[in-house]
A and B are shown apart, each in its own frame.
Chain A
Amino acid sequence: MSPNSPVQVAIVGTNRLAGELLRLCQGHGLQASPYSGAEKVTASTSLAIETLAGTEAEKKRNIEKLDQKLSAPAVIVSSCLGFSATHIASWTSRPERVVGFATFYPAEEKKVIELTAGLRTDEPSLAQTENFFQALGKETARVKDMPGLIFPRILSLIINEAARSLDEGVAAAEDIDTALRLGTNYPLGPLRWADQVGLDEVLTVLEGLQRETGDDRYRPTPLLKRMVLAGRLGEFSGEGFYQYNKEP
């Protein structure tokens, strides 16, 4: 892609993040098209954002498909909540064009978006990704390549500890949230925050870190796993640590 040709963005995924990115692109005059899967992404795409947190099999299939469909210079920007960018890039034939990013819902209100380069990512791909997010009005920060990068990683561990405390009966959910808001000035209580972000995404980060490091400090608390399996994913599913009114 020459520096002057317009960026053709493909947003791959059906989750809330994909919807947010599409709105952001439209709001900032970028040409962006949504795709539920990677199969139909057009070859004219210059930058594809793959938003799936998901399981390794699903994500790998998505990335492999993108790698086949896209022209050689196109960049693949993939959510690295659960996998390092290097890991994601290893599923492609051109790892130099794979860039990782990580954010939690709602991305629209984030001032800063974290980006990472895998071991083989080249500078032009990273710079192009920075330009893209800056065109959406975001600041970007380059950080080291690890699952969950920085903010999602730290928040997921706080949520894990809150869920564990709840499961152990140390305190009630409302009390845990009140305590952290008033005792440490957090903008939201950790369990309410988990419901906003989505418990499945939190679990993805914890499992990714545990897999990547082998360190027990990242082991997800069983309550979190059970809630994800039960579909209690948070606000958007109608129930998480709290109940929400489902739309009629």
Chain B
Amino acid sequence: MAINKSLIGVVGAGTMGAGIAQVAAQAGFETLLYDVKQEFIDKGLGRIRTFIQGSKDRGKISAEEAERVLARLTGTLKLEDLGPARIVIEAAPENLDLKREIYQKLDTASEPETLLASNTSSLSVTAIAAAIKNPGRVLGMHFFNPPPLMALVEVIQGEQTSSQTMDEAVELVRLLKKTPVRTKDTPGFVVNRIARPFYNEALRILEDGQITVDVIDHIMKGAGKFRMGPFELMDLIGIDINFTATESMYRAFFLDPRFRPSPIQQKMFQAGHLGRKTGRGFYKYESK
């Protein structure tokens, strides 16, 4: 078995996994999408088909191109099928034990020079890589949601990631027609860490009182030229996702007060006021 340079493997057919598989197929790679149940794979491939259909309807791609992209995508229930891939991008649930199990299997199933990339946003790449014999080929490749539309990919160097792996990964991200940014393996990497105060300090100002969320949002757009205010954006992202990210970063930075989560956001999380998706967050939304 030799490495197949035009093959990309994706582990996990959820929102991020399916989105990454779509990016790979659109960039011209043969793409294998792995998950543990056929229904997960079908759902993921279905989501990609809907997206591609939409692009075709809006005239963004031709019918022939849509056909070719879909023809490059195959689902599989066998992790070892991903073995010859140039890179395997893992987008499994954010659970360290589960991920380590996957990397141990990939360690023996894949070619020694296959790059193993995790799409984790909150776990340490170094901790994931420690599960296998050659952690030098493991790195982080953090796509943003939704991957087909977001241009950025953070390419994360764990403690043991080799510089050759980093260089190859950066080149691959360019081949995927995305913009790579190199970062070290620190909590939140670049974007989630540096953007934290946009949410957290807005929440702190809300806690201080004598102000409402719509006034803060209005100021951030009218004085700051941000395209969305922090509360609108938290409602869009999901209060659960935003709160969990802050909490995990707070723990990862050993309780540094810079990352202290907000009791207001915690209560909303507990009450199930999760933003747009539940019809209520900092604002109320019609329907649902």
Contact = CB atoms under 8 A, between A and B. Distances in A.
A and B from one complex: yes
B287 interface: no
Interface stretch (A56-64, A152-160, A226-234, A236-244): A152-160
* Residue from A103, A114, A150 having most chain B Cβ neighbours under 10 A: A150
Nearest to B195: A184
A187 interface: yes
A185 B219 contact: no
Contacts of B183: 170-171, 175, 179
B258 interface: yes
B197 interface: yes
Interface residues of B, number: 44
Interface string B139-156: 000001000001110100
A187 B227 contact: yes
Interface in A145-173: 146, 150-151, 153-155, 157-158, 160-162, 165, 168-172
Nearest to A219: B258
Chain B interface helix/strand/loop/mixed: mixed
B26 interface: no
B226 A215 contact: no
A112 interface: yes
A194 B225 CA distance: 14
A172 B155 CA distance: 13
B205 A141 contact: no
A172 to B, nearest CB: 7
A186 B220 CA distance: 11
B132 to A, nearest CB: 24
* Residue from A112, A154, A161, A182 having most chain B Cβ neighbours under 10 A: A154
B152 A179 contact: yes
A110 B222 CA distance: 6
Contacts of A128: none
A245 to B, nearest CB: 25
B204 to A, nearest CB: 8
B257 A217 contact: yes
A199 to B, nearest CB: 16
Nearest to A160: B197
Contacts of A176: 181, 190, 194
A190 interface: yes
B211 A110 contact: no
A141 B260 CA distance: 28
Sorted nearest first, the 4 A-B pairs with minimum C-beta distance are A112-B222, A157-B197, A183-B191, A182-B152
